[in-house]
Amino acid sequence: MNIFDYSIVVIYLVLLVGMGFCFRQQNTKDDYFLGGRNLGWKALTLSVMATQLSAISFISAPAFVGLREGGGLHWLSYELGVPLAMLLLLSTILPVLYRSGFVSIYDYLEQRFGRSTRILISIVFQFSRAFATGIMIFAVSLILQGTMGIEALQAIVVTGVITVLYSLQGGMKAVVYGDAIQMIIIVLGTIACIGFGLYHLGGIDEFMSKVDPARLQAIKPESLGFSGDGFGLLPMIFGGFVLYASYYGCDQTQAQRALAAKNTNDLKFMMLANATVRFPITLLYCFSGLIVGTLAMTESSFMQQIPTENPDWMMPIFILNYLPHGMIGILVVAILAAAMSSLSSAINSLAAVTIEDYCRLTNKQYEPEDYLKKAKYVGLIWGAITLVLSFYAGNIAPTVIEAINKVGSVFYGPILAVFLLGVVNKRIRAKEINIGLIAGVGFNIFIWLALPDIFWFWWNFIGFVTAAIVAYALSIGNKGEVNTQSIQAKEQQGAAILSKKDVVILVTAFCTMLVICILIPLLFL
């Protein structure tokens, strides 16, 4: 990097902090945590995708597809469950959460089931999200060490402090609009990598003749995921369906964006856009990995610079050695942008859940000005906790990144069952749902320890089914609905937001993704 590249990075960071201060005028908790419930679907869509397609995706997805042993385009199978998950959420959970008027989605659980259910799931969310975000910041700090030549401590401080500043000052508006800008930068950066990668390979024809055919298989229908095999078609569809439904609808980080929409139409458009636009962007990631990975395999000087045990260095090394100055600065900004998107969303959501939990548990009512001050202090504390965790991640990152994915799959299914049954079945009470939740998590842990040949993506689906069956079975003898008139009245406001046309769009999106995954290897024959 030269002075031009560093100037681009510094200007970007200054503008980002300035944007946060521009949005610092908030009067209520809805202003701070939900952007006044007046955010449009386009900005929200970019914000959600920026958080989902994080810095780890920008770096690790291409490395997995293009270089890692056993990798390839079956990374795309992660996406197959997204449209189906949106179909479920838009027809059940999200309209109910939106009309409830809550800031924290866990408020709904307390109103529907009781405090014990709320606290249990809320604690899981807060600590798992802070821990996962800390790992992500550490991974990005390694990349920034390689590209900017700075120490790990400096990289973490640059990423963390700037993000905490603009997200605490600007609240949800700063998060959403910052994410929207960052998403555009990430996509443009990925396209730049594809273009320069093809240029250095000698064009599309050269790429198609040199690419490893084994890496072009996007789906594996023969793999069922019960014999120590993974990434099969069925586990990725069923497990992915539950994972994304739980993540988009039952995780505060993502659901908070849905609650911030100006109306239910914007909420719907945001989710439809995520269901349809996310896949093409993932395709860009994957093809950038195929192209750069093919370049690395054909140029020994490139391959020698990539540590054998850490293929994630593939993209940073490519950026430094094959892109012109100026473009290098923009790509480093893209990496920073991806990291900041995940961190800013996590801080805002963690603060929202923590302050709302505190108010509920202590029965305290704060004046709006007091509430906002405390919310910012809580956000600052969570920012500090996340950054501290990132300092210690170096000793555990190689195993914990996989562990985080597995731990998430232990909980996602049972948590989805809690929210879904709370919406669709008014006879189930707190005792039954808590037992179902514990049964689902417990059975997943048993599978993890005793049945290691079952692919962990199945845990999402198995945990969901177990929790739902146990809770429903225990509630069969219940007579009459639970007394939740206050939230039922809000749930029933307005008409259903999902039309037949929307259903067709989502089903078509799923079928189109499946067909594209099948056809990709044939295009290279």
Residues facing residue 261 across a β-bridge: 39
C-alpha 47/C-alpha 346 separation (Å) is 12
152: which 2 tokens? 């790990």
The reported pTM is: 0.85
CA angle 98–246–464, rounded 5-degree value: 125
Contact 364, 358 (CB under 8 A): yes
Structure confidence at residue 338 (pLDDT): 66
C-alpha 118/C-alpha 102 separation (Å) is 13
Angle between helix 397-424 and helix 233-250 axes, rounded to 10 deg: 70
C-alpha of 189 from chain center: 20
Structure confidence at residue 525 (pLDDT): 66
Structure confidence at residue 451 (pLDDT): 93
Contact 299, 71 (CB under 8 A): no
Name the 3-class secondary structure at 39: strand
Structure confidence at residue 487 (pLDDT): 54
Structure confidence at residue 152 (pLDDT): 67
Nearest C-alpha neighbor of 271 from the set 91, 495, 45: 45
C-alpha 416/C-alpha 4 separation (Å) is 48
Residues facing residue 253 across a β-bridge: none
Domain ranges for the chain: 3-520
Structure confidence at residue 349 (pLDDT): 83
Name the 3-class secondary structure at 514: helix
Nearest C-alpha neighbor of 456 from the set 236, 192, 188: 236
Rg (CA), the chain: 23
C-alpha 61/C-alpha 287 separation (Å) is 10
How many of the other CB atoms lie within 10 Å of CB of 434? Answer: 17
Nearest C-alpha neighbor of 69 from the set 297, 315, 225: 297
CATH ID of 3-520, from 1.10.10.10, 3.20.20.70, 1.20.1730.10, 3.40.30.10: 1.20.1730.10
C-alpha 266/C-alpha 169 separation (Å) is 25
Structure confidence at residue 397 (pLDDT): 41
- Residue 28 is classified by DSSP as S
Phi-psi region of 363 (alpha: psi -120 to 50; beta: other; left: phi over 0): left
C-alpha 335/C-alpha 141 separation (Å) is 10
Mean pLDDT, each 10-residue run in order, the chain (525 residues): 84 78 72 78 83 70 84 88 94 90 86 86 79 73 69 73 72 74 82 93 91 90 86 91 93 85 91 92 92 93 84 85 87 73 77 83 79 83 82 51 69 93 89 93 93 92 96 84 54 66 95 94 79
Residues facing residue 39 across a β-bridge: 261
Structure confidence at residue 460 (pLDDT): 95
Structure confidence at residue 64 (pLDDT): 85
C-alpha 130/C-alpha 136 separation (Å) is 10
Name the 3-class secondary structure at 227: coil
CA angle 281–289–79, rounded 5-degree value: 40
- The DSSP annotation for 262-307 comes to SSHHHHHHHHHHHHHHHHHHHHHHHHHHHHHHHHHHH-HHHHHHS-
Amino acid sitting at position 207? F
C-alpha 249/C-alpha 267 separation (Å) is 12
| Count of H-run helices and E-run strands, the chain | 22, 0
H helix or E strand, kind and range, residue 171: helix 152-201
Contact 347, 25 (CB under 8 A): no
3-state secondary structure 377-435: HHHHHHHHHHHHHHHCHHHCHHHHHHHHHHHHHHHHHHHHHHHHHHHHCCCCCHHHHHH
C-alpha 434/C-alpha 294 separation (Å) is 50
Q: Which residues of 385-419 are buried (b: 16+ CB within 10 A; e: fewer)?
A: bbbebbeebeeebeebbeebeebbbbbbbbbbbbb
